Chains A and B, each alone.
Chain A
Amino acid sequence: MIQSFIKRLFSPKSQELVLRLSILALVYLYAFSIRLFSVLRYESVIHEFDPYFNYRSTIKLVTEGFHEFWNWFDSDSWYPLGRVVGGTVYPGIMITAAAMYKVLTSMSAWVQLRDVCVFTGPFFAGNTALIAYLFGCELKDRGTGLVAAALMAVVPGYISRSVAGSYDNEAVAIFALLATFYLFVRSVRLGTVSSAALAAFAYLYMAASWGAYVFISNLIPLYVLVMIAIRRYHRRLYVAYTTFWAIGGLLAMQVRFIGSNHVTSHELLSFNVVWLGLQAWELLMWLKARTTTAQFARAIGTTIITAVGAVVGGVVLLTLTGKMTPWTGRFWTLLDPTYAKKYIPIIASVSEHQPTTWSTYVFDVHLLVFGAPAGLYFCFKSLRDSQLFLITFALTAIYFSGIMIRLMLVAAPAFVLLGAIAVSTTLYTYTAHLWEVEPVEGDAAASTAAAAAAGPTPVKKSKSKSASKSGGFAPLPYRRETAILVCALVMFGLVSYSRHCNWVTSEAYSSPSIVLISGWGPYRMVLDDFREAYYWLRHNTAPDARIMSWWDYGYQITSMANRTVIVDNNTWNNTHIATVGRAMSSNESAAYEIMRQLDVDYVLVIFGGLSGYSSDDINKFLWMVRIGGGVYKDHVQEKDFISESGEYTIAEGATPTMLDSLMYKASFYDFGNVMTEQSKPTGWDRVRQKEIARKHYELDHIQEAFTSEHWIVRIFSVKDLANRAER
């Protein structure tokens, strides 16, 4: 018995299983641990801006329960409007983290909620790698799956949003996106209702997590159309799509933020219209089978024209009567990259909405830039339904990623899968030649590097097979040497990919951005100014104090300082943001009036002139002017802030409007008395590398209430109205 057990243990099948499982486990570990740079280097803390909102919502969800969260009206933001958070949020990540927290605590692992949130990203990165494995298996074979998992685990495009602490929608959304695609492709292969229903549930998770669910619900209809166009349409696709449409649509509508938009929005028009089209097509097929050709030919023309006319007319009518919502600005931007710049400065002002440069591609996917075309070639060569899906997905995703940096995230899995196919096919082809003693035509059964390394058995098999199959072709010379060279090249590529990913993660994506560290070793300087100032607000201002700052810092203030803000990162009301932009760009007394109207108690500005922190408010100021000017054309004009020589400056030559603006006065208050660098005059701005133009002035309506240690955060209290002078 023991002998048979040992025999089984060392059989190629179990060895392959052990090898495969251990590779997957290692990939999972790698995916998890590469994302821990920030925790090791800094601490277990939530990063950046949006994650703070997610964290705050998760606290609400855990402490007050799902019902309270679902119906949450947040009066601490968008004062005095407030925000219906329950109805305007994608709750996927919060529910995920809260569920993980509850499960852990119920298993008597009493972790802190913050740690759960911090590690949600890495955890889901591991899961995404596993999904990539399954997808790879579905696309080609297990070897491709393993390569896909390994590539996915470290692709920098995805790491950027899933490092520990980056508690953002995208961390779980990419997982959901890939899972939906994988399950849908699988259901197209199987053609069963149950497999399509599974895909629909993955779609629900995606819809609950990220606004890019629209990508799925446009890509899948597109895929269906492509399948029809190249005459690959079959009943399994019909079953998969119809089931997915019905169940997925119903489920997605349960997310409050989506609701009936799933039916009425133009963004999802193709999703619904393709479904209608498929029904019509099937109806026609059914009719065709039951009528004579002549009857059918007579009926079909009129039917098609009436049906198309009815659908188009219906959509137009519903849109005109306001029952359907047309495309939003963000969507237009995707089709016309210049749209945002022209019409919606607030979208254009976000750095992650900028067009992608080529260097970003190399930075974010590295080797896969070259792997993807090869992968496309291999896909076309052996076109399967699943590979056709990948082609559709990849081409659209790569197009979109060129428009917005942020959508690199969606393109990253496509790059990974294409790259995996390229790498695995290449290795598959050449490893077969590696063990050839004499040059014989090969058509190996050994699938990948992994399987090839598993033992001598598959090699023997391949030899016998190749011997039997090799026929009239004369063997090419140096096959073995070429194989070794190609494999070495691929290995080199993979190693450099992995090294690049490590480097990028460590250098670019692991800074929490609320703590800044400059220098290292004994010269290490920690700039913890943001938290210093937010904590000051939390403890030393009235609990209902209202803080006016640029919208970037809204989430951080509500979360860390627990105070009310006028605007925040959920930029739902452009006018309100423009009002703040107008206040910041007006002179002090005009700004005072606006601030009085908004009941503002404190003004908070970010200033880098002393510390050299470059993403400060003065550098963002032009956007405030543009956004403010977009709404208040008579009051704020960009040209007033541009000097005669045509530059945007705070130094000699700055316009009087600039020097009088609240932003200038708040940022540079007292700065004229400071020596920042040796052999430079006082008031030397270290970010702009210029001496400021206006140095000594007093503030009339606001006063400095707090400035952090390195002057990065400056908070000014808004004074009460002065007593009326006695006569």
Chain B
Amino acid sequence: MSRLCTVLVLAACLVASAAAADFVVENASRRINLKNTWAKAIDTLKAKNTGGSDLSNFVVCYPESIASRIAVLKVLIKKEKQEVAPLQQAPQGAPAGVSCYQATFKSTVKKGATVDLDVVATVTGVFKPNPAKIAQGEKQYVEYYDNLYLLSPYEVTEQSSTVLLPTSDVRSFSPQDGGSKSGSKVSYAALGKQGPWAVQQLKVHFHHDKPFKRVNSLVREIEVSHWGNIYVEETYEIQNAGSQHTGKFSRLTYAHSPDGKTNSFPDVKAHLPAAAHSLYYKDIIGNISSSDTTHTSRETLIEVRLRYPLMGGWKTDFTLGYSVPLEGFLYRRPKGKLRLLMDLSTSFDDVWVEQLTTRVVLPEGAKHIKATLPFADIQQSWDKKFTYLDTAGRPVLVLSKSNVVPEQNKPFAVDYSFTFTGMMREPLLLISVFAAFFAAVALYNRLDFTITRDEKWQEGQAHDKALGLIQSLTEYWDREADVLDRLVRLAHSISNRPSADAAPASRQALEAELRPLDEQVGHAAV
């Protein structure tokens, strides 16, 4: 990051000193390729050093609307990439709304010499649907705006611009003068000599037959397990960024009419490593039952069918996961270091990613972690993740980048050190937990944990028992007294004849009642 800053500051200083007129572009040929769902502008330039000294810097500029959406900007000399950095401040004389970049050549351009440059800009999300909303069955038209001329601080002697379109259905293009349409191509052959900062808006309004697959956010999580596996889980939110669908969605039309699908798409395709296995494809409410994989020796092709076809503006999300073995992705380095080599971004075709977050989860105990990244504008931060049997959490290196196109799916490397003891930590943890558990059980079975029955306890027991006995004895005696009392009353009542007749029976009953009571008293006494 700090390196990037220095570069920027340096670049700014350089530009301030470098007068913009040191180069003259003798020939500029612009080819703007709009066939894909993002634009690719290739400017082939022949520049001559007309200044008084050798030069090693070249400035390229774009309108702000395009510059803010540039995913990749490459300056090539004979197919060799030169270093490019954005300029904080546009050079002097630049009109408003222009952003510039400075390329630093590897070898200087001698005074009076010419150099052949290829400036390639990949720009996403620059197609503006017009009409913004279409009904099912209508065609999708989009507009593209750019500068007709090479937007440059240098004088351009001769130039031409060509716009390559996906279809020949072009509603309009402007300016009309000097332009001609043939097939799916709009070209401005001879635009003549222009001074610096020549500005004229180019607008093309045309039918785009490809669905715009935009991944709003992608979170990739790469989890390394030294037991032989690397888990990759990618969570996508994907949206159709083309003309919005309006009105009704008829399944009948969708399924049966040729134009019912309009600008929608039902699936995306990904190229996973050939060694990928244990694939899964789900979202937060469960598996998505429809997808197809083909294994070849070079790759694993997975056709991910979304839950529903995405009409314009519709979105959905899903999670795709797979595992790859360590071989081919994790390498041993000198001094016990390890290097993980993985791709940075998505392996889906035809999508661009607005916000990419790649999380590299290293094993617990990994140290001296250092990443080597393919792009300067990737932000790094740290996090912790807990999975099975983690106590301190695994270190997570979080890489984030915005506006990523498939060609930027480059490998990145993470170097770290990890010891064998760290690898044995989890099994040892499990073993020790189980050992402790069994030991505890064994100990419990062999030791007597009952509270000691000392004399005091015995005494208390005896006391309680005696109390209970006395209570039950009292109860029996009460009942005995009651029966005896009734016997006495019976005896008293033998004065009249009827009761005298009944008396023996009553006496027997009362005696029968008395007998068990006696027994019980006897029991209690024992």
Contacts and interface: CB of A to CB of B under 8 A. Distances in A.
A706 B264 CA distance: 14
Interface string A690-717: 0000000000000111111101000000
B249 A707 contact: yes
A363 B240 CA distance: 50
B390 A532 contact: no
Contact of A703 (B248, B307, B308): B248
B252 A45 contact: no
B315 interface: yes
A705 to B, nearest CB: 6
Contacts of B250: 670, 704, 707
A673 B390 CA distance: 59
B421 interface: no
B400 interface: no
Given A535-B308, A540-B315, A704 B289 contact: no
A675 to B, nearest CB: 10
B79 to A, nearest CB: 43
Nearest to A702: B248
Given A109-B388, A539-B314, A560 B290 contact: no
Interface string B479-513: 10010011000000000000000000000000000
B438 to A, nearest CB: 15
Interface residues of A, number: 34
A515 B285 CA distance: 11
B290 A534 contact: no
B248 A536 contact: no
A276 interface: no
A674 interface: yes
A526 B316 contact: no
Contact of A531 (B285, B390, B391): B285
Contacts of A44: 286
A370 interface: no
A461 B170 CA distance: 102
Given A43-B286, A670-B252, A531 B388 contact: no
A535 B290 CA distance: 15
A321 interface: no
A579 to B, nearest CB: 26
B315 A45 contact: no
A45 B286 contact: yes
A715 B288 CA distance: 20
B404 to A, nearest CB: 22
A108 interface: yes
Nearest to A527: B289
B314 A540 contact: yes
A536 B251 CA distance: 14
A708 B308 contact: yes
B479 A535 contact: no
B477 interface: no
Interface in A531-582: 531-536, 539-540, 560
A292 interface: yes
B317 interface: yes
B287 interface: yes
B289 to A, nearest CB: 4
A343 interface: no
Nearest to A528: B289
B413 to A, nearest CB: 28
B258 interface: no
Nearest to B309: A709
Given A540-B314, A540-B315, A703-B247, A43 B308 contact: no
A2 interface: no
A108 B390 contact: yes
A534 B288 CA distance: 13
A539 B313 CA distance: 10
A531 B307 contact: yes
Given A670-B252, A704-B250, A539 B389 contact: no
Contact of A528 (B288, B316, B388, B479): B288
A706 B136 CA distance: 12
Interface string A291-308: 011000000000000000
Nearest to A110: B387
A289 interface: yes
B388 to A, nearest CB: 6
Contacts of B389: 108-109
Contact of B249 (A293, A534, A535, A704): A704
A45 B289 CA distance: 12
Nearest to B386: A110
Contacts of A706: 249, 251, 308
B343 interface: no
Q: On chain B, which size bracket covers the interface?
A: 20 to 34
Nearest to A717: B248
A597 to B, nearest CB: 24
Interface in B306-324: 307-308, 313-317
A201 to B, nearest CB: 24
A243 to B, nearest CB: 20
Given A110-B387, A526-B290, A540-B314, A535 B252 contact: no
A670 B251 CA distance: 9
A43 B287 contact: yes
Contact of B388 (A108, A515, A526, A711): A108
B283 interface: yes
A289 B287 CA distance: 73
Nearest to B313: A540
Contacts of A711: 251
B314 A534 contact: no
Contacts of B485: 292
Given A45-B286, A539-B314, A292 B486 contact: yes
Interface in B111-157: none
A531 B486 CA distance: 84
B248 A704 contact: yes
Contacts of A515: 286, 289
Contacts of A708: 251, 308
B317 A539 contact: yes
A514 B285 CA distance: 11
Given A528-B290, A531-B307, A532-B308, A108 B386 contact: yes
Nearest to B429: A108
Contacts of B313: 540
B307 A536 contact: yes
A45 B390 CA distance: 27
Contacts of B386: 108, 110
A514 B307 CA distance: 14
A181 B290 CA distance: 48
Which interface residue of A44, A289, A540 has the most chain B CB atoms within 10 A? A540
Which interface residue of A42, A289, A292, A532 has the most chain B CB atoms within 10 A? A532
A529 B514 CA distance: 83
Contacts of B289: 515, 526, 528
Interface string A307-346: 0000000000000000000000000000000000000000
B243 to A, nearest CB: 15
B245 to A, nearest CB: 9
A110 B388 contact: yes
Contact of B308 (A536, A560, A670): A536
B307 A535 contact: yes
Contacts of B307: 528, 531-532, 535-536
Q: 7 closest pairs, A vs B, by CB?
A: A707-B251, A526-B289, A45-B286, A703-B248, A43-B287, A528-B289, A704-B248
Given A289-B478, A531-B286, 11 more contacts: A110-B387, A110-B390, A515-B286, A528-B289, A531-B285, A531-B288, A534-B285, A535-B308, A536-B307, A670-B252, A706-B251
Interface of A: 42-45, 108-110, 289, 292-293, 514-515, 526, 528, 531-536, 539-540, 560, 670, 673-674, 703-709, 711
27 contacts: A42-B287, A44-B286, A45-B285, A45-B287, A108-B386, A108-B391, A109-B388, A110-B387, A289-B478, A289-B479, A526-B289, A528-B307, A531-B285, A531-B286, A535-B283, A536-B308, A539-B315, A539-B316, A540-B315, A560-B285, A670-B250, A674-B252, A703-B247, A704-B248, A704-B250, A706-B308, A711-B251
